[in-house]
Amino acid sequence: QVQLQESGPGLVKPSETLSLTCTVSGASISSSYWTWVRQPPGKGLEWLGNIYYSGRTNYSPSLKSRVTLSLDTSKNQFSLNLNSVTAADTAVYYCARGSGWHLSWGQGTLVTVSS
Amino acid sequence: ENVLTQSPGTLSLSPGERTTLSCRANQSVSNNYLAWYQQKPGQAPRLLIYGASSRATGIPDRFSGSGSGTDFTLTISRLDPEDFAMYYCQRYDNSPVTFGQGTRLEIK
């Protein structure tokens, strides 16, 4: 059974960089695409981007200038960096397996952008 | 820009009833690359349907998906109390992946 777990700071100051890591167990990170999705409080789901084990990435056009995905095969982890954050980036951030439909998701982690 | 519009925004129904949720795309979805998710408060989305009509592992057969092109539906044949939740459609035929805004299914 594939399990994913997000980790990172729950509070980030405006203009700083939001950094999250997703640790994968039960599957090799070299086996699939890996995706980040976020959900602002009380709102819908927003796709942020995905990364293949080769390092190939796809990003949301609306965030492309601020987002970077990376992976660490030695730790079976992949990461999200979102720079120049504002209050609008406050959301629950989910990691998920796959590039299309997602059967496996992390539980999500709330990141609040506030000074 | 790909846009998915879900309707209605909210459905108020009783357990045991049948319901159909709609997801309409502004551009045709290739290869029926359309998924449906259920989400309950405080939980991650749960995959129900992929490829427009294939049920994910462990999903009860009261859930069914249909449609093609720009019009897709999720049908719940007989509502169980645990089915009252948010439902999202998602197209994944190209990048960027897009989600609909969701339909809230609430108990009447």
A52-83 pLDDT per residue, tens? 999 999 999 999 999 999 999 999 999 999 99
Please tell me if residue B59 touches chain A, with a CB cutoff of 8 Å: no
pLDDT digits (tens, 9 = 90+) for B29-60: 999 999 999 999 999 999 999 999 999 999 99
Q: Are the beta carbons of A38 and A93 closer than 8 angstroms?
A: yes
Of A44, A100, A103, the CB nearest to B33: A100
Question: What is the per-residue pLDDT for B1?
Answer: 87
Query: Looking at beta carbons, which residues of chain A come within 8 Å of B33?
Result: 100
Q: Which of B46, B97, B98, B104 is the best residue to mutate to test the A interface, defined by the most A CB atoms within 10 Å of its own CB? A: B97
Matching residue, tokens 């998920």: A96
3-state secondary structure of A86: coil
Size of interface A-B (CB pairs under 8 A): 54
Sign of CA dihedral B40, A37, A31, A6: negative
Distance between CA atoms of A40 and A46, rounded to whole angstroms? 9
What is chain A's mean pLDDT, rounded?
96
Torsion of CA B27, B71, B45, A24, to 10 degrees: -50
Distance between CA atoms of B63 and B44, rounded to whole angstroms? 19
Please tell me if residue B47 touches chain A, with a CB cutoff of 8 Å: yes
- Asked whether residue A31 carries a pLDDT value surpassing 90, the answer given is no
Q: Which residues of chain B have pLDDT under 50?
A: none
Give the model's confidence band at A41: pLDDT under 50 very low, under 70 low, under 90 confident, else very high: very high
DSSP B31: G
Q: Which residues of A touch B (CB under 8 A)?
A: 35, 37, 44-47, 49-50, 58-61, 94, 99-103, 105-108
Distance between CA atoms of A111 and A92, rounded to whole angstroms? 6
Average pLDDT over residues A22-27: 96
Please tell me if residue B96 touches chain A, with a CB cutoff of 8 Å: yes
Left if phi > 0, otherwise alpha if psi is -120 to 50, otherwise beta: which for B32? left
Q: How many CA atoms lie less than 13 Å away from A49 in the CB half-sphere?
A: 24
3-state secondary structure of A68: strand
> CB within 8 A of B38, min separation 6: which ones?
B45, B46, B48, B83, B85, B86, B87
* Residue A83 burial (CB count, 10 A): 14
Matching residue, tokens 């009447």: B108
Residue A43 token pair? 């709102």
3-state secondary structure of A87: helix
